[in-house]
Structures are given as structure tokens and as C-alpha cells.
Amino acid sequence: MNANILDLRYRMRKVLRALESREQVTVYHRGKMKGILVPAGGTRLAKADKHPLFGIRTRDRRPVKKVMDALRGGRYRAL
């Protein structure tokens, strides 16, 4: 996550949530990187079932490869 000084002041809740999910926070001041906040100790990782998209396609019975191909699209679909 990238945060500037105002984010640290007004959106500290988002910064703390990012640190809780073991994400590094890069701090910027006037467009220049001033430091990196690193989550404290432990090897606690976020659980996959806590992710907001977990289980979104439980009813889809197509093979995973077909679902991923449909999501990604082909090179002709980019036009």
C-alpha cells in the first residue's frame, strides 16, 4: 500500500488494516518516498477464506481452465 502524510493522519484505519493483513506500507511526503512501515513480528498470514472474493463462483461447474480463459479473454478480445 502507498500512503502519504495525509493518509497517515486522516486514514490511519486503512493503514492499520493493511498492516494487519501483513502488507508493507510505503510512506510518501511531497511525492518522495520517506520510509516503509513493515508489519511487526510473527508469521501470521491472512486466511484465504477471509478474502472478499472467496467462494464467489461456487455454483459455476465449468472447469477452472475454462473459467480463467473466459475471465482473461483472448488477444482478439482486447481490440
Residue 79 pLDDT level (bands cut at 50, 70, 90): low
Q: Any bridge partners for residue 26, and if so which?
A: 2, 36
The residues spanned by each domain of the chain are 2-72
User: 25 and 40 in contact (C-beta within 8 Å)?
Assistant: no
pLDDT recorded at residue 73? 81
Residue 57 pLDDT level (bands cut at 50, 70, 90): confident
Mean of pLDDT values over 32-40: 92
Angle at 23 between CA 53 and CA 39, to 5 degrees: 140
Beta strands in 7-76 (DSSP E): 25-29, 32-37
Q: Any bridge partners for residue 28, and if so which?
A: 4, 33
Higher pLDDT, 74 or 38: 38
